[in-house]
Amino acid sequence: MKPITTILVVNNEEHIVRRCLESIKPISSEIIVIHDGKCADKSLKIASEFTEKVFERKKYYCPEPHLVDALYMAHHDWILRLDADEYLSPDLIEHILRLDLEKEPYTHFKANWREHMVEQAKHPTKILLFNRNHSLSIGIPHRAVEVSGEGLLLDGYLEHTPLHANFGFKEMLLKKLKPFAKVDAALRYANPVKIYSLNGENKLPKKILLRNKYPLITAPFFAFRVYFKTLKELIKSRNWFAFKRVLAVAHAHLIEQFLLSYYMYQEKKNLKNKYLITSADNDYDEEYYERGLLSGKSLYSNYRWMPELTIRSAYFMAKDLPIEEGAKILDFGCAKGYFVRALRFLNFEAYGVDISDYAISKAEKDVIKHCKLIKHISDLKKIFNVKFDWVIAKDVFEHMPEKQLSENLKELASITKKMFVVVPLGIDDISGNFVVPDYNKEITHVTARTDKWWKSFFKKNNFSVEKVNFNFRFCKHNWTSVWPRGNGFYILKSRHPKK
């Protein structure tokens, strides 16, 4: 086997997934299978025969967001990406086995894509194997992996035998492209859009940003751009069947692009996530807390109550900040409520909020009434009719994109006098990488910024910075002892506390 991670995203495809997995098994030292939404057939059971890394994830109705997650999870830099209705021919397998990937001068390898339901005089090619360090992947439909550098065409074929033949104009448009356009529009305005970038910079390309900003004005340009690009396939076809099919596909894609622009306009117009804490609340599930290290979803494993650590941390935090005895404290992002439990043990009037249904449901009986589930930052004032002395936000803000973070800070400033924030620091304000390498492995981390950026951001959002440290007694000591400037500990004072 080669140092290759194969990524397969499936959606109830038990009839064909085995064939695909059997073809990739000889060349893959790691296989990651992700099911789009809840599995209703035996797809994952079959996949578990080939790999332990089998996951059910949030329903996106397309594979691209899952591909981004899997790229971060992969142990190897060389990635083989295919669909469940595709499989490798023997010649293609043999050629891949002959490759010396450590010495090859190429960044990617293409394969001839042979579709069994269509007569093809000349086969199109598809990037099959690529080095993720030279790639860009964006979690929206129809965004193929972009790879920089030189590539090579492999021997053999990437065979394609779909369960259904969407060849007709009407069938393709109504059953495939129109639903995809709706999903595409929604994902383009997600916060954040999932991105795997070759330089770690989580920024969308300018052409996507332009279209997102002006969906209707740019519609003709992007629609006809896709149309003429598809028509180029006609030049490659040498028989009437292929000509008719490609022409139907081109017209279907033309209409799809106009539909996409309309749906984007509606999505932008009706955007209601201004006060949304994070768009990834469904990511904080059982897998995140109990098997995060295995899945690559988080740094947690068997997240549980450890009083010898949590009570000690709460005691010294209260002493060093300091927090007056009996103070009202809100643990913002309380998870299962363990820190709330520790603070109440120390006679503080502590409460907690979190967006995870799973975490809140697992709170202990003695604190569950003090830990509340919220979905929007505006829920705080609906739930708590009190003024807090302190808000504790430990390892929370790095999970929020900048826009939502700003709204959350302003809201928090209106309900508390002081706040203690703990965040992992970035190596810079551009790359999206953290000082502590392990922090880059958690797929829900979206904001990696420097100490200077955080101090400026707090000041812009109704807080003054009273004190900054890069270590704090009995708080994240396992990280701060190795990376002394990998975390920031901020004592903030609200500039607009409620009276």
Q: For position 241, what pLDDT does the model report?
A: 56
Structural domains in the chain, sorted by start:
2-160 (3.90.550.10), 169-269 (no CATH), 281-494 (3.40.50.150)
Q: For position 166, what pLDDT does the model report?
A: 52
- Output phi, psi for 90, to 5 deg: -55, -40
Q: For position 277, what pLDDT does the model report?
A: 45
Neighbours of 269 (CB within 10 A): 8
Q: Which helix (H) or strand (E) holds 86?
A: strand 86-88
pTM across the whole model: 0.64
Q: For position 499, what pLDDT does the model report?
A: 45
Terminus-to-terminus CA distance in the chain, angstroms? 67
Question: What b/e sequence results for 233-252 when a residue is b if at least 16 CB atoms lie within 10 Å of its CB, and e otherwise?
Answer: beeebeeeebeebbbbbbbb
Render 231-295 in DSSP notation, one character per residue.
Answer: HHHHHH--SHHHHHHHHHHHHHHHHHHHHHHHHHHHHHHT---TTBS-TTGGGSSHHHHHSHHHH
- Output phi, psi for 40, to 5 deg: -110, 5
Mean pLDDT per 10-residue section of the chain, whose length is 499 residues: 93 95 96 93 96 89 90 92 95 96 93 70 81 90 86 94 64 75 83 66 77 90 85 62 70 87 83 45 82 82 93 96 95 97 96 95 94 91 91 95 90 96 90 83 86 96 97 93 95 76
Q: For position 110, what pLDDT does the model report?
A: 95
Q: In sequence order, which ranges of 25-142 are alpha helices (DSSP H)? A: 43-47, 64-73, 90-98
Neighbours of 170 (CB within 10 A): 10
Q: For position 185, what pLDDT does the model report?
A: 86
Q: For position 366, what pLDDT does the model report?
A: 93
Q: For position 143, what pLDDT does the model report?
A: 78
